[in-house]
Chains A and B, each alone.
Chain A
Amino acid sequence: MKLVSLEMGSGGRLMQDFIREKLLPVFKNRYLGLLHDSALLPAGLALTTDSYTVDPIFFPGGDIGTLCVNGTVNDLVVSAARPEYLSLALIIEEGLEMATLERILRSIKKTAVRTRVSIVTGDTKVVPRGQADKIYINTAGVGRLVGRPQPEKIKPGDKILVTGPVGEHGLAIMLARNNFRMTSRVRSDCAPLIFLLPLWKNGALWMRDITRGGLATVLSELADKISYPLLVEEERIPLSRTLRGAVEILGIDPLYLACEGRALLVVKESEANRALKFLRNSSSGRQTTVIGEVQDKTGRKGEALLRTSSGGLRLLEPLTSELLPRIC
């Protein structure tokens, strides 16, 4: 008997296979087939949806409320859409403390104000105790297109940028669960990416928010989409000191840890310096770094390669087995 495994929802290759083999053939239409982070609809609209099941619901740096707004907003931003309207559907376990629910709602409100979106419709369901874990949230978001991703135009020399240190959300959640009995100052990077929107008119060819599967998975997805291999330098990948220490102790590869407020961008070579300057001047992008480029000297089409700090080359594969379920 074939059973659904946790890995099928991990954002890794198994989930890609599921979407391609089981979902697409059933629901195929011109919008879905593109498999963007959002569907690009007529009249310049983009639509996206996401469900949030994070455990624990409160964690250093955020909570399920900040996450359910930022996550959906960010999916729109990386699809070149300015987020405008959100729906909010709550699935609540019977017995959740009302004060907890109110705290989450306040987070949602605050994050919506910060990202300039209005919550315009919603739904509330309560299920018997034990049939859900505290609270799950689904949001859908509608945005207006301000540009267009153009992965087909990416060519050698174009730069690959990361908007800040990676992996902090994944690590914060991992440690918040306390399975490792280890404490750390690391906080989730959960934040909106709306500051990236102007770049759609200023040299950005492609963007992706770095979520489940981490930087390595996003890079390998990018390599799949374009006609040239890409090469990034391990030494240039921004990692905070705190995170560096923690992943050494735990033996975790930080390139596979999730973020909730970082993006990977491909920017035209000629615009790269200006884009970098622009991002470093915005408060959320201060630590933006050029980590590598698209090139045609090393590797083959479809490959994302990492030049390690030791000077060797290593292939970046998408995440296959789940580090940890329910991180977002």
Chain B
Amino acid sequence: MPPRKSSLETLSDWRSGPTIRNLLRAISRETEAINRPLRIMEVCGTHTMTLHRSGLKPLLKEAGVVMVSGPGCPVCITPDYYHEAVIDLVTSQKNIIATTFGDMTRVPTGRGSLQTTVPSPGSEIKIVYSPDEALELAGQHPEKEVMFFGAGFETTIPAIAFTAKKAAATGLKNFTLLAALWLIPPALEAILRSGEVDIDGFIYPGHVSVIIGQQAYSFVAEKYRLPGAIAGFEPADVLLGILSVVRQVRAGRPEVANEYRRAVRAEGNPGALALMAEMLEPYEAEWRGLGRIKNSGLRLKSEWQKLEAARRFNLRLQPGKSLKSGCRCGEVLKGLLEPVDCPLFARHCNPDHPQGPCMVSYEGACLIEYKYSSGEKKK
């Protein structure tokens, strides 16, 4: 019997040079037969990260595939006015603890970022690692109002919905949720409907697909006749996804392939979906760069309104006057502009002085490009 591999050794198989070279060769053979370079959009910021961190992007270009980053970064697509509403709240009111994920605190807005904000006495802005941690804080500080400002896609939404449900069940009166929750399929449809983006297929996000399953994307193949594959996050995972898309292009048979079978089931995670449906309802949400999209956001259902931060604090969640100019995150998020082609990139916009959210988030296309790629344009 062969020795049993530890999970770490298994993981390194998904990164190993020989595996990667074989996959790249297979992709190359397909693109040679198609006889033109293909453009594939990786929807998810974590895929963008994998491609850059492993140095695969230039190798893929040689193999005939240009990867285009999509809107899959929740920090990036959350409009400024959410941050500005939180900044207004903590600077104007006492005894508010505004909690959020780390990346969110650095997003620059017309009124600065959460990180540069000096809250009113007794108020503070606190980074948490999970929504549950925010709920715990509410339990520990009954004298304060604890708000969780949560941005996320289907990956994060179940955890936030679970925390909301727990908050309602425990009857804590000082916990609220400012939900910036976004759904991937409606955004993809908006991109396709606009017809602005020229792509040959999608790499669908792995973690989002764990929740929503394979069927959620079938409209892409059926209505728009575009190939796509769900992929995991190791280098070989992403290449398997790309190979599948390239083969679909060559065969002229678009489908929703699942190349992340060790995690994704066709039907998704019914428990998580049921929890989302119990607590949240879809509405027409506004995305940075993509604008208003029907049924693309989730908010607390009316029966849970007492947990709604916007209502409790009368927050104004509407576009105000944006002071930032020149930032083209919107076009980057739609795959219309490569980060290096933005006039601000590396000149006026870098990780220390970001001008827009794509240079802030660890899933932001601009930050990832800046951090990992060597190139003339940068220096």
Point out residues on A near B: beta carbons under 8 Å: 1, 3, 5, 7, 13-14, 17, 179-180, 241, 244-245, 248, 253, 299-300, 302-303, 305-315, 317, 320-321
Contacts and interface: CB of A to CB of B under 8 A. Distances in A.
A4 B137 CA distance: 26
Nearest to B59: A312
A311 B24 CA distance: 11
A310 B374 contact: no
A241 to B, nearest CB: 7
Contacts of A299: 374
Nearest to B53: A314
B55 A248 contact: no
Contact of A314 (B21, B54, B129, B350): B54
A312 B11 contact: no
A310 B20 contact: yes
9 contacts: A5-B116, A179-B133, A245-B8, A310-B17, A312-B56, A312-B57, A314-B52, A315-B373, A321-B106
Contacts of B20: 310-312
A310 B16 contact: yes
Contacts, number: 79
B11 A248 contact: yes
Secondary structure type dominating chain B contacts: helix
B54 A308 contact: yes
Interface in B22-66: 52-59
Nearest to B12: A309
B359 to A, nearest CB: 10
Interface residues of B, number: 32
Nearest to A317: B371
B352 interface: yes
A14 B352 contact: yes
B351 interface: yes
Contacts of A302: 379
Nearest to A14: B352
A310 B15 contact: yes
Interface in B302-361: 350-352
Interface string B1-21: 000000010011001110011
A3 B20 CA distance: 46
A300 B375 CA distance: 9
Given A5-B116, A308-B54, A17 B352 contact: yes
A11 to B, nearest CB: 13
Given A244-B8, A248-B11, A303 B17 contact: no
Given A310-B56, A312-B56, A320-B350, 5 more contacts: A7-B352, A303-B374, A305-B374, A311-B17, A315-B373
Contact of B21 (A5, A307, A311): A311
Contacts of A317: 370-372
Nearest to B60: A312
A211 B180 CA distance: 37
A314 B55 contact: yes
Interface of B: 8, 11-12, 15-17, 20-21, 52-59, 106, 115-116, 118, 129, 133, 235, 350-352, 370-374, 379
A310 B21 CA distance: 8
A312 B371 contact: no
Contacts of A305: 374
A305 B375 CA distance: 12
A307 to B, nearest CB: 8
Contacts of B374: 299-300, 303, 305, 313-315
Contacts of B53: 253, 308, 314
A320 B235 contact: no
Contacts of A245: 8
Nearest to B56: A312
A1 to B, nearest CB: 8
A303 B375 CA distance: 10
A59 B373 CA distance: 36
B8 A309 contact: no
Contacts of B55: 306-308, 310-314
Contact of A13 (B58, B352, B373, B379): B352
Contacts of A308: 15, 53-55, 235
A309 B16 contact: yes
Contacts of B371: 315, 317
Contacts of A180: 129
A300 to B, nearest CB: 7
B116 A320 contact: no
B13 to A, nearest CB: 10
A300 B133 CA distance: 45
Contacts of B351: 13, 320-321
A319 to B, nearest CB: 9
B69 to A, nearest CB: 17
B138 to A, nearest CB: 17
